Structure formats: C-alpha cells, structure tokens
Structure 1
Amino acid sequence: MLRYALRRLLSLAVSLVVASLVIFLVIEVIPGDPASYMLGINAQPDTVAALRSELGLDVSKTARYLAWVGGMLHGDFGTSYTYRTEVAEMIGERMWISLPLALYALTLSTLIAFPAGILAASRRGSATDLGVMGVTQLGVAVPNFWFAMLMVLLFAVKLRWVSAGGFPGWENGFWPALRALTLPAIALALPQASILTRVMRSSLLDTLSEDFIRTARAKGLNRRQALWRHALRNALIPVLTIIGLQFSFLMAGAIIIEQVFFLPGIGRLIFQSISSRDLIVVESVVMLLVFAVIVVNFAVDLAYAWVDPRLRR
C-alpha cells in the first residue's frame, strides 16, 4: 500500500509541474496588457512602462514563471494588479464560500444518488426503475443555471422563503450562512446526482451479473443480501471516480451559479479577474483549483486501493 501511495505521489508532483507550465503559458498569451488595460487607452507610454515595472511585467516570462512558482511554494501567490491586495488573502476570503458550497452540493448529490441508484438496480425493469431513470434523464438534460433561476423565482420571489442571493457571512451565524447556500447547492447537486445515480445503477447491474454473485446466490443468499454484502463494495470504483470528478467540477464549475446567486466565491473571483486582466489572480486561482483536482484524484486512487486490494500490487 505504501509503495502504491508513493507512486501516486510522484505522479501528483509531475502533474502539478506540467499544469503550472500550461496555465502560465495559456494565460500569458491572452491578448491585452494589464498595465495598458488599467490605465486606459489615453495613457502615456512612460506611465504604462512605470506601471509595468511596478507590477513586475517588464521582466522575462521565464523569470516571472519562476518567481510565481517559487512564491506559491512559500504560500505567496503574489499581489493583485487591480485591487493591490495579496492574492492569498483574496482566495482565503472566497474559499470560505466556494468550498462549503462544493461540499454541501457533493453531500446532497451523494445522499440522493446512492439510494436512488441502488433502488433502481435492485428493481431493474420495474416501474420504479423506469421512473428513476426518467427523472435522472431530465436532471442531466436541464442546465443547472436554468434550474437555479426557477428556484429563485419560486422560493425567493413567489414564496419568499429565502433571499434571492447574497451571502451574510459565517460570522453572522452558521444557519443563516447555510441557508444562503442551500439553493445554490441544490442547483449544483441535482444534475450531478442524476449522473451519479445512473453510474451507480449501471455499475451495480454489471456487478450483479458477475460469477461471484451467482456463487453467493447459490450458497443461499437472496438477491438483497448478495447486493448489500458483495455487490455494493465491488461496484464503488466507477462511482468513486465520478464523485472525485464531481467535486472538482463543483469547485471550478460554479461560476455561473455564483453569478446567479451573487455569491462572492472563487468562481466569481475568476470571472472578475478575467474581465479586468488581473492575470496573477487568474493564474493563482486556476493553479489552486488544479491542485485541488489532483489531490482529490489522489485520494480517489487511495480509495480504489482500499476498495479493491488487487490494485495495491
């Protein structure tokens, strides 16, 4: 198990180095100079040159890349061109919204998908199975931002149960903050729950047709006992893969949802930074999200080895 984990750690480190190079090169080729954008089209060339020097944009791209990576290794993500604030501080403030939102949505997605997928697989071909698959097909087809706007119209505008958007802050109490994240989390969770339900059902059905399940049934276990004692654990590997991918998507892909609900999270920070050509913020936030994706995949790989001991070899 230790050797397997060390191999995965080495792969993680190589992935991070490659990702940092790709992110830096892709963002650096975006048209537009941040200094010229900040000063406007009527700015004098010497003023632009002075601001470029102040922002550290007048050195070579290699030096900027090494300074950026070296700073991140020490926890220094640089200073925002636009807000003149430490990027790490900006990320820390926004992360306390985006991370709980992603975890909340992932929890809801898992709590919905596991029972629904197991129920559909245990009653294959029945009206229950067809109903679950029909609902999940609708969940996959409906865009989450459209569903989010419908929920705003129903629960915020018509019923007035919750506010239409915004975030009160955790300092104002846990329940008010959690309440503000509930509608966005549901909007994010339902499409992901539909995908996870279908994967859970398909994986369980494939596992239930294996020889070891037939052997368990021949030894006297009924279908329900064989499902819970033997099939479920063996069906978890593709499900764990989807859960890992979903967490990554929920962290990085909530830009539109955060815009709909006016949540000052990481997604909205990326949107605002791209609009203002604040390249150092975009690079650092994207790199942090890539790091989160790679770490989650590493955790999923370890979960594979725990679920299936054969992978440890």
Structure 2
Amino acid sequence: MLSFVLSRLGSLALSLVVASLVIFAVVQIIPGDPATFMMGLNATPASVETLRKALGLTGSLPVRYLHWVGGMLSGDLGTSYTYRVPVAGLVLQRLQVSLPLTLFALFLSLALALPAGILAAARRGRGADLTVMGFTQLGIAVPNFWFAMLLALLFALKLHWLPAGGFPGWKAGVLPVLRSLTLPAIALALPQAAILARVMRSSLIDTLGQDFIRTARAKGLSSGQAVRRHAVRNALIPVLTILGLQFSFLLAGGIIIENVFYLPGLGRLIFQGITQRDLIVVQSVVMLLVAAVIVVNFVVEIAYALIDPRLRRQA
C-alpha cells in the first residue's frame, strides 16, 4: 500500500507542476502587456509601469514563475487589483460559502443517488426501475438554474420556509447558514444525483452478473444479502470516479447558482475577476481550483485501493 501511495504522490506532484506551468503561460501569452490589459487603453505609462512592478512582470519569465510559485507555497497569492486586498484573504472568505455548499450538495446527492441506483438495479425492468430512470432522465435534462428559480419561487416566495438568497455569515449561527444554503444545495445536488444514480445502477447491474455473486447466492445468501455484502462495494469504483469529478465541479462550477441566490462564493469571485480584468485573482484562484481537482483525484485513487485490493497488487 505504501508503494501505491508514493507512486500516486509522485503523479500528483508532477500534475501540479504541469498545471502551474500551463496557467502561468496562458496569462503570459495574452495579447499585449497584462498590466496594460488590466489598466485599459487610457492608462498613463507611469501607472502601467507601477502595476507591472506590483504584478512582478519586470523580471525574466523563469524568475517570475518561481516567484509566483514560491509565493503560493508560502500562502502569498498576491494582491487583488480590483479589491486592493490580498487574494488569499478573498479566497478564504469565499471558501466559507463555497466549501459548505459543495459538501452539503454532495451529501444530498449521495443520499438520493445511492438508494435510488441500488433500488433500480435490484428491480431491473420493473416499475421501480422505470420510475427511478424516468426521474433521473428528468434531473439530467432540466437546467439547474431553472430548477433553482422554481425552488426559490415555491419555498421562499410562496411558502416562506427558506430564504430566497443571500448569506448571513457564520457569526449568525449554523442554523441560519444551513437555511440559506439549503435551496442552492438542492439545486446543485439533483442533477448530480441523477448522474450518480444512473452510474450506480449500471455498475451494480454489471457486478450482479459476476461469478462471485453467483457463488455467494449458491452458498445460501439471499438476493438482498448478496447485494449488500458483496455487490455494492464492488460497484462503487465508477461512482467514486464521478463523485470526485462532481466535487471539483461543485466547488467552482456553481457560478450560475451562486448568482441566482446571491451567494459570495468562489465561482462568483472568478466571474467577477474575469469581468473586471483582475488577472491576479483569476490566475491564483484557477491554480487553487486545479490543485483541488488533482488532490481530490488522488484521494479517489486511494479510495479505489482501499475498496479493491486488486488495484494495489497491480500497482
């Protein structure tokens, strides 16, 4: 197991280096000078030169890259040109919204998808299977922003059960925060739950056709016992793959949902950085999100090995 983890750590480090090089290069190849791009066409040469120094654009490319990477490793992500505050502080502030929202949505997605997928696979071709597959198809087809607006109209404006938007802050208490995140989390979770349920159903159907399941049934286990004790665990690997991708998507991909519910999260920060031409924010936050994707994939691979020992032996 140790050699498996070490090999994956080496792959993780290499992926981070390549990702940092690509992101740094993309910012550098923007047509024209990045400082001029951020300041606009009417900026004076003195102000452009001042911003170039602040952005660290005065040295050679290798020196600037090492300076940027070294700053990120030490927690210095630079200073936002728009907000005039450290980018690290902005990221930590927005993570207080995006991370709980992501975890909440993932929890709801798993809580809905796993039972639905197992039920559909166990009742394959019957009414329960057709019902679950119908709802999952609907969940995939309906845009989440439209569903978010329906949730706000029903539960916030009509029934007054939950707030329609905004984030009260953690100082207001856990309950108000959970109330403000419930509708966005449901809007994000339902399409992801539909995908997970379909993957779980397909994977479980394939697993139920394996020889070890027939052996377990021949030894006296009932259909339900064979599913619970043997089939579900072996069917989880494709589900973990999708779950890792969904975590990364939910962390940064909820830009529309955050705008619908007026949530100050990471997705909205990237959108504002792009529209306000704040390249420092965009470069640093994108690198952090890419790092989060790589780390989550590393955790998923370790989970693979824990679930299926054959992967450790192959590694």
What TM-score does the superposition give when structure 2 sets the normalisation length? 0.95
* Deviation, structure 1 residue 31: 4.6
3-state secondary structure, aligned to 1:57: coil
- The aligned length equals 313
Whether the aligned pair in 1 keeps the contact of 2:78 and 2:88 (CA below 8 Å) is: yes
**Equivalent residue number for residue 115 of structure 2:** 115
Q: Could you tell me which runs of 5 or more consecutive residues in structure 1 were left unpaired when the two chains were aligned.
A: none
| CA distance in structure 2 between the aligned counterparts of 1:301 and 1:38, rounded to whole angstroms | 40
Q: 209-218 vs 44-53, which deviates more?
A: 44-53
**Equivalent residue number for residue 142 of structure 2:** 142
| CA distance in structure 1 between the aligned counterparts of 2:42 and 2:161, rounded to whole angstroms | 49
* Deviation, structure 1 residue 175: 0.4
User: Are positions 1:57 and 2:81 aligned together?
Assistant: no
3-state secondary structure, aligned to 1:235: helix
Q: 245-254 vs 154-163, which deviates more?
A: 154-163
User: Are positions 1:19 and 2:26 aligned together?
Assistant: no
Q: 42-51 vs 151-160, which deviates more?
A: 42-51
What is the identity, as a one-letter code, of the residue corresponding to 1:78?
G
Whether the aligned pair in 1 keeps the contact of 2:55 and 2:280 (CA below 8 Å) is: no
Whether the aligned pair in 1 keeps the contact of 2:109 and 2:189 (CA below 8 Å) is: yes
**Equivalent residue number for residue 6 of structure 1:** 6
Judging changes above 3 Å, is the alpha-carbon distance between structure 1 residues 83 and 195 closer, same or farther for their aligned structure 2 residues? same
3-state secondary structure, aligned to 1:125: coil
**Equivalent residue number for residue 67 of structure 2:** 67
**Equivalent residue number for residue 204 of structure 2:** 204
* Deviation, structure 1 residue 80: 1.1
Judging changes above 3 Å, is the alpha-carbon distance between structure 1 residues 274 and 33 closer, same or farther for their aligned structure 2 residues? farther
| CA distance in structure 2 between the aligned counterparts of 1:40 and 1:238, rounded to whole angstroms | 48
What is the identity, as a one-letter code, of the residue corresponding to 1:55?
L
Whether the aligned pair in 2 keeps the contact of 1:32 and 1:277 (CA below 8 Å) is: no
What is the identity, as a one-letter code, of the residue corresponding to 1:167?
F
**Equivalent residue number for residue 215 of structure 1:** 215
Q: 295-304 vs 28-37, which deviates more?
A: 28-37
Q: Between the two proteins, what is the percent identity of the paired residues?
A: 71
For residues 171-210 of structure 1, what are the structure 2 equivalents within 5 Å?
171-210=171-210
| CA distance in structure 1 between the aligned counterparts of 2:30 and 2:113, rounded to whole angstroms | 40
**Equivalent residue number for residue 308 of structure 2:** 308
Q: 166-175 vs 48-57, which deviates more?
A: 48-57
User: Are positions 1:237 and 2:245 aligned together?
Assistant: no
Q: 273-282 vs 127-136, which deviates more?
A: 273-282
Judging changes above 3 Å, is the alpha-carbon distance between structure 1 residues 33 and 262 closer, same or farther for their aligned structure 2 residues? farther
**Equivalent residue number for residue 105 of structure 2:** 105
Whether the aligned pair in 2 keeps the contact of 1:244 and 1:296 (CA below 8 Å) is: yes
Q: Could you tell me which runs of 5 or more consecutive residues in structure 2 were left unpaired when the two chains were aligned.
A: none
RMSD: 1.5
* Deviation, structure 1 residue 32: 6.5
Q: Which whole-Å deviations, capped at 9, do the CAs of 1:116-146 have from their partners, x for residues lacking one?
A: 0111111111111000000000101111111
| CA distance in structure 2 between the aligned counterparts of 1:38 and 1:30, rounded to whole angstroms | 11
